[in-house]
Structure 1
Amino acid sequence: MDIYFIVSLLALGAFTGFFAGLFGIGGGGIMVPMLTLLFTQQQFPAEHIVHMALATSMAAIVPTAIASLRAHHKHQAVIWPVVVQITPGILLGTFAGTFLASYLSAAPLAIFFSCFMAFVALQMVLNRKPKPSRQLPGLFGMNATGSGIGAISALVAIGGGTLTVPFLVWCNVTLPVAIGTSAAVGLPIAISGAVGYITNGWNETNLPLYTLGYVYWPAVIAMACMSFFSAPLGAKLAHRLPIALLKKLFALLLVGLSAQMLFTIFG
C-alpha cells in the first residue's frame, strides 16, 4: 500500500463520516464509488472490485452508524419504537440482498447503483409533500418495508438513509427526526450486510491480502478511524441547517456520486 492510498482512505473516512451524520445515509453511497476508483488504481482483481467496494463499505458503515446514531440520539431525534419494529425486516432483507449482489457482475451493479442514486436525488428535488393524514404502517408493514430497504441497501451498500429518510418523511416524520432515525436503522443494515458479504466471498481465492470474504480490512480500519470522529460534526450541523438546503445538498451529492460510479466502470 502506498502513502497516497492510505491518505485517500483516511480522507474518504472523514468525508464520509461527516455526510453520514449530516444526511443519516450511513456513508456507503459515498464510499462505494470512491472505493471503486481507489481499488481500480491499486489494480485489484477487476471482477471483484465492485463487490469489494460494496462489502468494505458495509463493514465501514458499522462504526460510522454507531457514532451518527449516538449524536442524533443526543438531539432526541431518533424514534426508537420505529427502529425496533423495522429491524427484523432490515436484517432479513439485507442479508438476502448480499447473495444477489454476489451473483451479479460489476457492470450491472454499477448501473443499478447509479440509477438508484439518481432516482432518489430526483425525488428529493421534486419535494413531494406527504398527505397530512399519512401515518407510519403497523408491524407487518414496517417489516415488509424494512425487508425492501435492506435488500436494496445491500445491492448499493448504503446505510438505508436514501430510502429510510424519504419513507419516514412520506409518513409525516419531520426531516431532522427522519435523518436521526435513519442513522439508527443504518446499524443493523451495516452489520447484516457485512456478514452477508463475508459469507458470500469466503471461498473466493483471487482477492488481495487482508481481505475476509469481500471485505478489505485495511480500508475499513482507516475509514472507520476518521468517520467515527467526523460523523458527530455532521449530525450537529443537520439540526442547524434549513430543511430546504439539506434536501438540495443531499440531491446534489447523489447525482455527483452516480456520475462518478459510471465513469469509473465504463470510462
Structure 2
Amino acid sequence: MEGLLPLVFTMLATGVVAGLIAGLLGVGGGIVIVPVLDAALAIRGVDPAIRMHVAVGTSLATIIFTSMSSARAHHARGAVDMKLVKQWGPFIFVGSMMGSVVAAAVDSSVLAAIFGVVALLIAIQMLLPLEDYRPWKEVPRGPGGIITPSMIGGLSAMMGIGGGTFSVATLTMMSQPIHRAVGTAALFGLLIAVPGTLGFIVNGWGDPRLPAANIGYVNLVGVALIAPMTVMMAPLGARLAHKLSRRQLSLAFGVFLGIVALRMLLRATGILT
C-alpha cells in the first residue's frame, strides 16, 4: 500500500493531462499517454530499463477500452470500412503481436528512440501544409496491401499507440475520406491493442523490477484510472479546440510532438533518464 497511493495519483494525473491534450489536438490517447506516463514513472523512480515497457504496455491496455467505444460509435454512423478491415485486419493483428515481442526484448532506450524518431516525423508532417497531399488514388493491393498494415501494427505496438496516428494519415494519403479513415482506424486500434497488450503481459511476467500493481508490463492501476480520466477530460480539451482553426491545431500538435520527440531522443541517448 505504501507504493500504491503515489501510483494512484500518478495515473490520475496522467489521465488528466492525456485527456486534455487528446481532446484539444484530436489524437488517440497513446501518443500522449506514453510520454506523459514515462515521465511520471521517472518521478516515481521506476527502473529506466523497463519504464518505457510499462508505459507502452499500459497505454495499449487502455486503448482496448477506448477503441471499442470509438469503433462502435463510428460503425453506427457507417464510417467503418469493413471491407478494408477484412483486408488489412489480419496483417495489423500479426504485426502488433510481433511488435510487442520485439519491444519486450529490447531496452527502454531503443523504444524511446523509435518513439522519438516516429514522433518527429509526424511532427514535421503536421507542421508542414500537407493536409491535401494524396500520393495514392486508392488503397494499394498486392505487397503494399501486406507490408503497410503489418508496419502499422508493428510500429503502433512498439510505441503503445492505437490506429489513429498511423492509419488516419496513411488512409488519407490513399485518397480515403477523412471520416471513413478515422472510423476505420478506430477499429484498427482494437486489432493493435489486444495482441499488443497480451504480448507485453506475457513478456514482462515476473520481472522483479516492476512497480506495484503490475501484471507483466501492464499496470492495472493505470488501466483502471487513465482510461476513465481521459474520457472525462477529453471533452474539455475538445471545447478548447473549437476556438482554434484546423491549421492552428496542426501547428499545436506538431509543436507538442516535436517536444515529445526531443525528450524521447534525449532519453534514448542517455542525456535524460
Common fold by TM > 0.5: yes
Deviations 1:194-229, CA, capped at 9 Å, x for gaps: 011111112423322321111111111110222344
2:224: which partner in 1?
221
**Counterpart amino acid of residue 112 in structure 1:** I
Measure the CA separation in 1 of the matches of 2:34 and 2:214. Answer: 16
The equivalences for 1:167-178 within 5 A come to 167-178=170-181
Contact 1:39 1:49 in 2 (8 A): yes
1:121 match: 123
CA distance in 1, matches of 2:202, 2:191: 16
**In structure 1, what is the equivalent of residue 188 of structure 2?**
185
**Corresponding residue for 1:34?**
36
Contact in 2 for aligned 1:28/1:58 (Cα 8 Å): yes
Does the residue aligned with 1:204 lie in a helix, a strand or coil?
Answer: coil
The runs of 5 or more residues in structure 2 that have no matched partner are none
Residues of 1 paired with 2:234 and 2:225: CA distance?
15
| Counterpart for residue 147 of structure 2 | 144
Name the structure 2 match of 1:6. 8
Q: Which residue of 2 aligns with 1:200?
A: 203
Distance 2:29 2:38 in 1: 14
Shift of 1:171: 0.8
Q: Report percent identity of matched pairs.
A: 35
Q: Could you tell me how far 1:52 is from its partner in structure 2?
A: 1.0
With structure 1 as the length reference, what TM-score do the two structures score? 0.85
- Cα deviation code 1:24-79 (max 9, x no counterpart): 64311111111111111212223211111111111111112223334444554433
**Partner SS, residue 229 of structure 2:** helix
CA 1:244–1:234: 2 relative to 1, 3 Å: same
Worse overlay, 104-113 or 199-208: 199-208
Determine the C-alpha separation between the residues in 2 that align with 1:192 and 1:22.
29
- Decide which of 235, 242, 258 is 2:261's aligned counterpart: 258
Task: Note the 1:52-201 alignment, pairs <5 A.
Answer: 52-73=54-75, 75-128=77-130, 129-131=132-134, 134-138=137-141, 141-201=144-204
Q: What amino acid sits opposite 1:188 in the alignment?
A: L
Structure 1 residues 131 and 37, CA gap change in structure 2 (3 angstroms): closer
Indicate how the Cα distance of structure 1 residues 109 and 132 shifts in structure 2: closer, same or farther if over 3 A, else same: closer
**TM-aligned CA distance change 1:206 to 1:8, over 3 Å:** closer
Structure 1: segments with no counterpart, 5+ residues: none
**TM-score normalised per structure 2:** 0.83
Change (3 A) 1:239 1:182: farther
Across the aligned residues of Structure 1 and Structure 2, the Cα RMSD in angstroms comes to 3.0
Would the alpha carbon gap of residues 68 and 266 (structure 1) be closer, same or farther in structure 2, given more than 3 Å must change? farther
Aligned counterparts of 2:194 and 2:221: Cα–Cα separation in 1: 18
Between the aligned partners of 2:234 and 2:142, the Cα distance in structure 1 is 30
